[in-house]
Structure 1
Amino acid sequence: MAAGDLCAPSDVQAFLSLAAGQDDALLQTLCTAASAFVLSALNRNLLAASYSETRNGHGGDRLPLYQYPVTAVSSVTIDGVAIPPAPTALASGYVFDENMLYLRGYCFSRGVQNVVIAYTAGLATVPFDIAQATVEIVASKYKRRTELHVSGKTLNGETITFSQADVPASARAVLQNYMRRYMA
């Protein structure tokens, strides 16, 4: 499995009942392409990573963060001044939840690129349903690889129709649950 992939060729082989090692190189390429497609469709990163955002201050006391779920905030700077974390539930400073940064006793003063936030966000592992949705996308591409432009054909009086959708409906439903809820 290549770095950043959401599934492995062996997952697809098991799903399609292929022999271990069958079409490994092709399946690896499809897994990598499908993983990139899924992450692009979700419009967010899934796995935990560190981020630094430079944002415009708007005068308010809350700011949605681009990546989520937020697991830690290491620093908040506004107009070059470090804002401390709030040491208690009522003290001044910053606090956060899974997708929002809040200020107590401070505000995100109006300005252009005057707010800098360093934080960690993302999931520890790829959720099973996302991995399975990616497997289904790869399986669909794999099965259609020789019939990419055929919408249907008749064999011995039976009509076989091929789906033109890039994403199976079951996978599409899963991806909807993980898509970015809003743009920060």
Structure 2
Amino acid sequence: MAAKGYCTSTDVDNFLGGTLTASQLTQADALIERAEAYLDGEIGRGWLEGAQTQEAHYTPAELLLLDYFPVASVTAVYGRNGIGQTETTLVDGEDYEVQDLAAGIIRLVYPQSYDRIRVTYVPDTATVPADIKQATIDLVAAWMQPTLRPGMYGVDSYSLPDLTVRFSRAHYQSVPPTVRDVIARYRVPEIG
């Protein structure tokens, strides 16, 4: 899976002070893909430019929420009655209707007739919101900490001679609180 462009490894490098090596930049690129998938899954939607081809929805409900919205146009909708059956091209206005382009909602007339619906459409998402970009940068930077500070990961500070050690939140939280706040703000409620 290729990165969608929520941020770049250069963005992560700048956030961390511009000290990443070539191998760490490669690691950041891989973590960006993982962070984008994580955010999309937690939020229930994503940001993508270009056509989305045959996005699959299994055991569809009456209201079908597309993964990327707002939607510029729906090109085709296909329904399959069961495993091994041939897909049927559904007709707009008879088998389904585009209920809300802004929210990416398609209403199926007979959802119980299909075990899978595939939709080809063009999202209308020109840019990734700034706070989603920053959340991606924050998440990748947090995930990189074990390799950036291998001997100090999880330690915020320590002092001597009595040896006081204070642990940071990074040691016991895989997702920074700032990222969780952005996820909560964008999370799509379940419909159906």
Same fold (TM over 0.5): yes
Q: Does 1:129 align with 2:135?
A: no
Where does the alignment leave 5 or more consecutive residues of structure 2 unmatched?
Answer: 82-87
Among the aligned pairs, what percent are the same residue?
22
Task: Say whether 1:160 aligns with 2:173.
Answer: no
Judge which range, 155-164 or 165-174, deviates more: 155-164
Q: Within 1, Cα distance between the matches of 2:143 and 2:58?
A: 40
Gaps of 5+ in 1: 87-91
Distance 1:82 1:148, change over 3 A: same
C-alpha spacing 1:85/1:125, structure 2 compared with 1 (3 Å): farther
CA positional deviation for 1:158 = 4.4
Count residues in correspondence.
Answer: 170
Which residue is 1:89 aligned to? Answer: none
5 Å-filtered alignment, 1:90-109, equals 94-97=97-100, 98-102=103-107, 107-108=109-110
Q: Distance in 1 between matches of 2:115 and 2:183?
A: 32
1:7–1:35 CA contact under 8 A, matched in 2: no
- Please provide the CA RMSD for this pair: 3.5
TM-score by length of 2: 0.66
Q: Distance in 1 between matches of 2:67 and 2:110?
A: 19
Q: Distance in 1 between the 2:124 and 2:99 partners?
A: 14
**Is the contact between residue 138 and residue 179 of structure 2 (CA under 8 Å) also seen in structure 1?**
yes
How do residues 62-77 of structure 1 correspond to structure 2 at under 5 angstroms? 62-69=62-69, 70-76=71-77
Instruction: Check conservation: 1:34, 1:138, Cα contact below 8 A.
Output: yes
Report the AA paired with residue 94 of structure 1.
E
Residues 122-176 of structure 1 deviation map (CA, whole Å, 9 limit, x = unaligned): 6233222111111112222334431476567733244331222112111121123
User: What is the aligned partner in structure 2 of residue 35 from structure 1?
Assistant: 33
TM (normalized to structure 1)?
A: 0.68
With 119-128 and 166-175 compared, the bigger mean Cα shift is at 119-128
* Residues 166 and 114 of structure 1, relative CA distance in 2, 3 Å threshold: closer
Which is further off, 126-135 or 73-82?
A: 73-82
Structure 1's consecutive aligned runs of 4 or more residues displaced over 4 angstroms after TM superposition are: 54-58, 147-153
Give CA-to-partner distance per residue, 1:93-126, whole Å, 9 cap, x none. 73331221136xxx22642337554323362332
Q: Hey, what's the Cα distance between the residues in 1 that align with 2:58 and 2:46?
A: 19
Q: CA deviation at 1:5?
A: 4.7
Does structure 2 retain, via aligned residues, the 8 Å contact 1:56–1:112?
Answer: yes
1:93/1:45 Cα in 2 relative to 1: closer, same or farther (>3 Å)? Answer: closer
- Mapped partners of 2:89, 2:29: distance in 1: 45
